[in-house]
Structure 1
């Protein structure tokens, strides 16, 4: 399969608002020995992309400066050491960066087969959110069937994924969201109870249920101390983002008295091997649920590649439920 020497991409011209995203021409990426080149059909739009655009989340030194952490498309080239993919295979993949482009390079071990019955548009919504949810809720957070699981931001891409997976594995799911419409969407996806944080106090709601065994939080700020109050004895708090800030005043006597575990992670800086391990678990434990139609990505809207600034503007309104994608090919 012949590939061009240049490609269209969207770059961050300077740190700033969505309007700094501009279409450009870049050289084609060449695969390293352990990489594949994907002709991108669709690229997912995620919060880290917006943080990078705003100058608050620098890519790793060896990653593309182009935004985009997930995509779906067709393999058009493979590195010398790659044996698990062939040119012509359709894949979705976690990316180190560079997804807002016609072609992108990524480690072959971070690519996954497109699940049965899913389009490339839908498959582009899987990697970033499913890697994040699986690694933090199940691998790090150790969620078990029957446990009470609270997640904040239930209508986000992360939230809609976490609700479905936690429910599929037998947990009791509670979610917070900011409108009645979003709360209804959370319940439809499998949440036992959705809490409109503008009208109710999630601390009191969960205390009435015996407390949360596990909380997945992307809000931070004053939610950190409130989460600690919400947790049941031996509960776990996993932070994956800090939309309202990473600092909080915390009473650690509660942490000791209730034997709590406070942890968290970011996905992008982890090693190739660590992310490959997550990919392997997804294929064996989660992809069968998608193949069977038990779990599915929740789609909100689609924009053309050159409309990336509009996609970012929408995401930052928090009006969407589920995932936003860019149509590249």
Structure 2
């Protein structure tokens, strides 16, 4: 088969479409013919040499895909999946390829009424948001979620899922155009991080109460301000480190608010944990997608062979939602 490879770490030009050995499904895996994948920040880090795949997983980038089941591996004959089924999948790697072997617990059916390629935009964002905002931080109806990077793939999904359970949503984003898109998706409080201090804006909008849950992709740069922005009994979920890895945490402020800080990644979790998250997403999120209440936001698509251009587009930062790679 062909796949996007990374012979040497570097810029987008480091991505090379090359012939590689076909994957062979191991125990508990199925083989999927890939129709589309999506570009995630983790793929950029892997390309730069900063985020190696977990041991035993595909060396090629791509944390999600959509396609058709091509073969059932050992131990999956009674899994309920059949050759030819249209699926999307959460991956530890390998989505930028013609074929990928997927643990059976990480497969999802394509939602009713959705085309196969668009479904590639769903697995990573739905699993990340549901696991962090709902399974860990336990966002409840009537509470306020602050989503940093509201116009990102994660942010656009967080807005919709929070609104679907009756929560209010505040977002940070860069510029009025992105904030307008967030508002269209249901965001209630719009903060331009380039021009405004999100702590002060949130205090004004909530009469000083703050956010019950904060979903943070920035990390160290926002740590102190995130704690100050939390409500009493608030929960901060850190899922990204775009603003650095080391910050100072004011424990007195955290104690005073009886607040909690969690930090998680999805890619390196054990298979059983991923399967539990995928099952929860299928139970709670897939009905919302099928009913049209929640949808993936796709900014643009590229041929998979042009993955370098797609990476450059993500790095430019002018997108809203997801960037997809399509098999020609």
User: TM-score, normalised to structure 2's length?
Assistant: 0.97
Shift in Å, 1:195 = 0.6
1:245 matched to 2:244 = yes
Report the Cα distance in structure 2 between the residues aligned to 1:97 and 1:42, rounded to whole angstroms.
Answer: 14
More moved, 92-101 vs 201-210:
201-210
> For residues 218-242 of structure 1, what are the alpha-carbon distances to aligned partners after superposition, in whole Å with 9 as ceiling and x for unaligned?
0123211000000011101000011
Q: Does 1:56 align with 2:12?
A: no
3-state DSSP class of the match of 2:161?
Answer: helix
Of 168, 171, 176, 1:175 maps to 171
Do the aligned partners of 1:212 and 1:232 also contact (CA within 8 Å) in 2?
A: yes
The one of 136, 143, 149 equivalent to 1:140 is 136
- Taking structure 1 as the reference length, the TM-score comes to 0.97
Partner of 1:207: 203
Aligned to 1:255: 254
> Number of aligned pairs?
323
Tell me the distance in 1 between the aligned counterparts of 2:27 and 2:219: 40
Say if 2:40 is the partner of 1:65.
no
Q: Within 5 Å, give how 1:61-210 maps onto structure 2.
A: 61-82=55-76, 83-208=79-204, 209=206, 210=209
Q: CA RMSD in A?
A: 0.8
2:315 — aligned with what?
316
What CA deviation, in whole Å up to 9, does each residue of 1:251-277 have, x standing for no partner?
211011111101010001101110110
Distance 1:96 1:149 in 2: 28
CA distance in 1, matches of 2:198, 2:92: 35
Compute the displacement of 1:186 (Å).
0.5
Structure 1 residue aligned with 2:2: 8
- How far apart, CA to CA, are the structure 1 residues paired with 2:26 and 2:250? 49
- Residue 38 (structure 2) aligns with: 44
Counterpart Cα distance in 1 of 2:225 and 2:143: 19
C-alpha distance in 2 between matches for 1:224 and 1:318: 22
Distance 2:109 2:319 in 1: 27
Per the TM alignment, residue 279 of structure 1 is displaced from its structure 2 partner at its CA by 1.0
* Corresponding residue number in structure 2 for 1:269: 268
The list of structure 1 runs, each at least 4 consecutive aligned residues, that deviate by more than 2 angstroms after superposition, is: none
1:20 matched residue in structure 2: 14
Shift of 1:8: 1.0
Q: What secondary structure, in the 3-state scheme, does the structure 2 residue paired with 1:316 have?
A: helix
Name the residue aligned to 1:4.
Answer: none
Q: Give structure 1 stretches of 5+ with no counterpart.
A: 1-6
CA contact (8 A) 1:131 1:279 kept: yes
Residues 11-41 of structure 1: CA distance to partner in whole angstroms, max 9, x if unpaired? 0111111100001001111111200111000
Q: What is the deviation of 1:284?
A: 1.1
Q: 3-state DSSP class of the match of 1:269?
A: coil
Can you give the 5+ residue segments of structure 2 that lack an aligned partner in the other structure?
none
Q: Deviations over 1:89-127 (max 9, x none)?
A: 000000121111000001011000000111112100000
Shift of 1:69: 0.7
Q: Is the 8 A contact 1:84 1:108 kept in 2?
A: no
